[in-house]
Structure formats: structure tokens, C-alpha cells
């Protein structure tokens, strides 16, 4: 049996885009730099998106995590070696007793706000090529996730095909409208059909905006605080996105599409199934019909990544399916813990051996086509 971490991250080398981006775009790509006042900035497509607290993008290894937002630490101070060095990542997996990990970006999941399609495609390609090299140093253990410019479907399909040839195991999907287009819209069907044909899941993974935009914006602007944001930021993004997918008809048009909900836990899934079905029963005639009830799509086309210390895993296995739940560490982000592998083993200890095997790695092995 393989033990698989279905949610971890890299912290990209700060010069990744400066060294790998197509030369014609390097002056407008992604930069991490220190200004004359000694303040560190993250700049994407010519816009400063974060200043002074870049170390807070990582930092799972730092005991006093308040340091990450207090100033004085730089981006690289928050980057433990396993976050960018493949040999160190494998050594950490060995220490954890973990065989493989799905690896998402960090800077690469921040919104790249520009209307320059050539620049967008180039930034995605630069990241994917670096990730390909990173994963190639530990084949079968580092499982790369492709980032695509979803505003350019033809370009996204071409980049996906290149990533598939390099062994990528999944595709990152921001859980928000793309240029106002929702993820279940037929405009994306050709891309989703290619993912289904290749057998790779589309991963709804939380994104972070530092410009005050987003679903929690009125609360955060009202002073709700960081604890509020860290607690609800993921689910408030993932649930609307997966709800639209389950009610839009995309799973009828692309029945082989696989969707993985990442970094939002799993305990909400049974509630959402019941809630959607109840609304279909009462007012469903007012809306376009799908071939199946929403709960069926959430059982057949969607998978869920449990938090390591989540107590509802057994219930979700009962109500959603024994093959639906994976686990993830979120390493090395600030709200992750190095104890994640021990926590998930404790969380599933009371389950049957077959269910333990499924959650710890069996379900991931099947979903990502591992061997």
C-alpha cells in the first residue's frame, strides 16, 4: 500500500520566472525583490501583490509563527529545504513514512491578473517546466500538478498535453469564475474532456488574494480577523465551485471528469449532498434539469481531501463512499503542521483496516493512477 499526501506545496525559487520565463516577458513576469528601503516585494505581471510579509507564504518549520508577519524575515526564511529541493522532500517523506505527495504551487496559485494572454501562457509554462524538473528528481514520489491559463482554452490544452507527456498527475483549478465564466460552463468542456480522456483529476484548490477581493472580503474588511479568514477561506471558495459543477450539467456532458476538492476538509460533503437534493425536490422544476441528482455527482465524479485531524472521516466514508476520501498535509504553508502524517494515522485508527488503507493512500493510488 502506498501512503500518499494529496495536498502539499512547493515554495518556488524566487528567481524561477526571471530565469525560466520567455525572455520577451521577463521584465513583466514574477519577481521577488528588495527595494531601497529594505522592504521585500512580490510582483506579478507588473503589480506588487504582497510586501514585507513574504515569509508568511511558508513557514511550517518556524516555531514562533508570529515572526512571519512581524517583519524582519524574508521569503527564503520561510522556505524549508523540502519545499524547493527534491532530495530534501524525499528525505522528509521517508521520515514521515509517506511514499508520495501531490505537489501544488504557492506563488503559482496566486491570481495572475493581466490581460496579456502571451504573458499568462508563458508564466504558466515557466512554472510547469520547473515543476517537471523538480519532480523528475524523484519520479513516482513527487507528483506534479499542472497550472494552466484557463482564459485561453486552446493554449491550456496544448500546455496540458505537454505536461501529461512529462508525467503530471493533476490540473489546478481556481475555485472562482474565470473572466466571469463559471467552472461548469460549456466553454471549458473541451479542456475538461481532455482531462477526462487522460484520466487526470481537476483539483479545486483554495486561492489567496491580497487585494481585498474574494468571497470573504466584506467580513475581512469589517475586521473579522485572520483566524476567521484562515478558518473559512477554503470552504467558502470550494463549496460554491463544486456546487456549480454538480448542478451545471458538466458531468452529463463530460461524464468522465474527475474533480478533487483540496484544502477544505471533507465533512461538509454529506451536508451539501442533502441540501442540494432537498432543493431539487422542492424547487428543482424551476431550473434546468440534470440527468442525476446532485448527490450522485458528488459520489461519482468528486473526491475530497480530509484535514489530518478531521473527526468526520468515517461518516463521510459511510455517506459519500469509501473510495472518495484522501488526506493532505498542506506542507509547508503557515497553517500546516509537521505532525500531519501522525495526525491522519490517529484520525483513521478506529476505522477498519481496509478503510484505513483507502484513506491513507489507496484512494489516491486509484485516482492518480499510481503503481
Which tens digit of pLDDT belongs to each residue from 137-152? 999 999 999 999 999 9
pLDDT at position 214 over 80: no
What's residue 77's pLDDT? Answer: 94
For residues 135 and 168, give the distance between their C-alpha atoms in angstroms, rounded to a whole number.
9
Integer-rounded Cα Rg, in Å, for the chain is: 20
For residues 51 and 44, give the distance between their C-alpha atoms in angstroms, rounded to a whole number.
12
Establish if 246 belongs to a structural domain. yes
Per residue in 229-255, pLDDT tens? 888 888 999 999 999 999 999 999 999
What's residue 174's pLDDT? Answer: 94
Q: What share of the chain is helix, strand, coil (3-state, %, to 5)?
A: 45, 15, 40
Closest CA to 201 of 158, 170, 174, 172: 170
Establish if 135 belongs to a structural domain. yes
pLDDT at position 319 over 80: yes
Establish if 48 belongs to a structural domain. no
Establish if 23 belongs to a structural domain. no
Establish if 314 belongs to a structural domain. yes
What's residue 212's pLDDT? Answer: 62
Instruction: Report the mean per-residue pLDDT for the chain.
Output: 94
Q: What percent of the chain has pLDDT over 70?
A: 99
- Residue numbers of the domain that contains 123: 4-10+79-368
pTM attached to this predicted model: 0.96
Q: Band the pLDDT of 211: cuts 50, 70, 90.
A: low
What's residue 111's pLDDT? Answer: 83
Establish if 17 belongs to a structural domain. no
199 DSSP assignment: T
Q: What percent of the chain has pLDDT over 90?
A: 84
For residues 252 and 244, give the distance between their C-alpha atoms in angstroms, rounded to a whole number.
13
pLDDT at position 331 over 70: yes
Establish if 47 belongs to a structural domain. no
Report the domain count for the chain. Answer: 1
What's residue 210's pLDDT? Answer: 67
Closest CA to 254 of 205, 202, 293: 202
For residues 206 and 227, give the distance between their C-alpha atoms in angstroms, rounded to a whole number.
16
Amino acid at each position: 500500500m502506498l501512503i500518499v499526501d494529496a495536498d502539499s506545496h512547493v515554495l518556488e525559487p524566487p528567481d524561477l520566472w526571471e530565469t525560466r520565463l520567455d525572455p520577451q516577458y521577463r521584465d513583466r513576469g514574477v519577481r521577488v525583490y528588495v527595494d531601497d528601503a529594505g522592504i521585500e516585494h512580490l510582483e506579478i505581471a507588473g503589480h506588487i501583490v504582497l510586501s514585507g510579509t513574504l515569509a508568511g507564504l511558508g513557514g511550517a518549520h518556524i516555531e514562533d509563527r508570529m515572526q512571519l508577519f512581524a517583519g524582519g524575515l524574508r521569503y527564503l526564511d520561510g522556505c524549508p529545504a523540502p519545499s524547493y529541493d527534491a532530495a530534501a522532500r524525499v528525505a522528509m517523506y521517508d521520515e514521515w513514512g509517506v511514499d508520495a505527495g501531490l505537489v501544488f504551487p504557492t506563488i503559482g496559485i496566486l491570481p495572475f491578473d493581466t490581460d496579456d494572454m502571451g504573458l499568462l501562457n508563458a508564466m504558466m509554462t515557466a512554472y510547469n517546466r520547473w515543476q517537471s524538473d523538480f519532480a523528475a528528481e524523484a519520479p513516482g514520489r513527487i507528483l506534479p500538478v499542472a497550472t494552466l491559463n484557463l482564459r485561453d482554452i486552446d493554449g491550456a490544452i496544448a500546455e496540458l498535453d505537454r505536461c501529461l507527456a512529462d508525467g503530471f498527475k493533476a490540473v489546478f483549478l481556481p475555485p472562482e469564475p474565470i473572466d466571469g465564466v463559471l467552472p461548469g460552463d460549456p466553454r471549458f468542456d473541451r479542456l475538461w474532456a481532455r482531462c477526462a480522456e487522460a484520466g487526470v483529476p481537476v483539483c479545486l484548490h483554495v486561492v489567496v488574494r491580497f487585494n481585498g477581493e474574494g468571497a470573504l472580503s466584506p467580513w475581512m474588511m469589517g475586521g473579522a480577523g485572520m483566524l476567521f479568514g484562515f478558518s473559512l477561506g477554503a470552504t467558502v471558495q470550494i463549496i460554491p465551485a463544486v456546487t456549480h459543477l454538480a448542478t451545471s450539467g458538466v458531468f452529463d456532458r463530460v461524464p468522465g471528469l474527475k474533480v478533487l476538492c483540496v484544502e477544505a476538509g471533507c465533512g461538509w460533503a454529506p451536508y451539501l449532498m442533502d441540501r442540494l437534493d432537498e432543493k431539487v425536490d422542492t424547487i428543482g422544476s424551476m431550473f434546468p434539469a440534470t440527468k442525476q441528482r446532485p448527490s450522485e455527482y458528488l459520489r461519482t465524479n468528486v473526491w475530497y481531501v480530509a484535514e489530518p485531524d478531521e473527526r468526520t472521516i468515517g461518516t463521510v466514508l459511510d455517506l459519500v463512499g469509501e473510495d472518495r476520501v484522501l488526506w493532505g498535509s498542506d506542507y509547508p504553508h503557515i497553517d500546516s503542521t509537521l505532525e500531519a502524517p501522525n495526525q491522519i494515522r490517529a484520525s483513521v485508527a478506529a476505522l477498519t483496516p481496509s478503510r484505513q488503507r483507502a484513506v491513507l493512500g489507496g484512494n489516491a493510488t486509484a485516482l492518480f493512477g499510481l503503481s
